[in-house]
Amino acid sequence: MGHLAYDAAHLFGGAVLALSFVLLYQRRLTAVINAYALQALVLAIAAAWQGWAQGAPHLFLTAAITLGVKAIAIPLGMHSFVRRLGMNRAVESALGVFPSMALGVGLVALSIMVVLPVTAQSHMLTREDLALALSVVLMGMLMMISRRTALTQVIGFMSMENGLILAAVSVEGMPLVVELSVAVLVLLAFAVFGVFFFRIRDQFDSLHLDHLDRVDGGPR
């Protein structure tokens, strides 16, 4: 793999991670959705670039799926959903901006420390991309933990899946990437559907997950 191919792949992987940080501190719901769409777009470019660099045309399919569904269809659907239900307000976070950013940096350091030593003999690009991907996965989990509403949790979940796709495309010669990305997509579609469903029932005043605490098994 040439110098340019390597650098560019690195750039796109790094950009996906940088957008994970952007996701962490956004306050408005629409901004969170936009940041997610941008992350998916960069991921699609990264997948297409890997497809070209590895000479693996099936990765273009993964890139196309990511672009069409994750970067365009799901964000558009979410925007219309948020507009229709008048949810365009600030979403609170269980952690402040600074603690969540600090935790995010800590998670990136953690994944670099975990991944780089164990992949010492692997392909250079693979190991660094894997570290980036693991960071994205962990930051997605952090977002799921720190955000309180179902919609932002779902976006955290989807961002986590972006990290998984980044890992899958950067492992050279990995079979079934397209199939796996479709399977992941089904999961995402289901998550989004779940939120819609939740809201449409309108039993819960907001998508606040504190309502779930009612399921506690105590005497009612």
Partner 1 sequence: MIAGLVALVPLLAAVVLGFVRDRAIGAWIVIAASTAAFGLACALPWQMGAGTLLLVDPLSVHMAILTSFVGMTTAWFSRRYIEIEMITGRLDGLRARQYHVLFQAFLGFMLLALLSNNLGLTWGAMEAATIAAVLVVGLPRTDLAISAAWKMFVLCGVGIALALFGTIVLYLAAQPSLGPGLPAMSWSALAVAAPGFKAPLLNLAFVFLLIGYGTKAALAPLHAWMPDAHAEGPTPVSAVLSGSILNVALAVLLRVRGLMASNPDAISPGIPLMALGLLSLLLAAFALWRRYDVKRFFAFSSVEQSGLAAFAFGIGGPAAMFAGMLHVTLHTLIKAAIFQCVGRASQLKGGQKFADIGGLIASHRALGLTLAAGIVAVAGMPPFGLFSSEFLIMLATIRSWPWLALPVGLGLVVGGWAMFNRLISLCLGAATPNRGPAPALIDLVPAWLHLALAVVLGMAMPAGLVAWFSLVAEGLR
Residues of this chain that bind partner 1 (CB under 8 A): 114-115, 117-122, 126, 130, 133-134, 137, 141, 144, 150, 153, 157, 160-161, 163-164, 167-168, 171-176, 179-180, 183-184, 186-187, 190-191, 194, 197-198, 201, 203-204, 211-212, 214-215, 217-219
Q: Which is nearer to partner 1, 97 or 190 (CB)?
A: 190
Q: For the purposes of burial, counting CB atoms within 10 Å of the CB of 212, is it exposed (0-12), middle (13-18) or buried (19 or more)?
A: exposed
Shortest distance, CB of residue 58 to partner 1, whole angstroms?
12
Shortest distance, CB of residue 201 to partner 1, whole angstroms?
7
Interatomic CA distance for residues 204 and 54, integer angstroms? 48
Q: Which is nearer to partner 1, 90 or 187 (CB)?
A: 187
Shortest distance, CB of residue 46 to partner 1, whole angstroms?
15
Q: Which is nearer to partner 1, 15 or 191 (CB)?
A: 191
Contact call for residues 209 and 156 (beta carbons, < 8 A)? no
Nearest 10 degrees: CA dihedral of 91, 92, 95, 98? 60
Shortest distance, CB of residue 98 to partner 1, whole angstroms?
25
Shortest distance, CB of residue 168 to partner 1, whole angstroms?
6
Q: Which two tokens stand for residue 87?
A: 């949810």
Interatomic CA distance for residues 183 and 199, integer angstroms? 25
Q: Which is nearer to partner 1, 98 or 216 (CB)?
A: 216
Q: Which is nearer to partner 1, 97 or 124 (CB)?
A: 124
- Host H or E run for residue 177: helix 177-201
Q: For the purposes of burial, counting CB atoms within 10 Å of the CB of 123, is it exposed (0-12), middle (13-18) or buried (19 or more)?
A: middle
Q: Which is nearer to partner 1, 98 or 202 (CB)?
A: 202
Which of 62, 57, 35, 58 shows the shortest CA–CA distance to 47?
62
Shortest distance, CB of residue 203 to partner 1, whole angstroms?
5
Q: Where would I find the H helices in 122-174? A: 124-146, 150-170
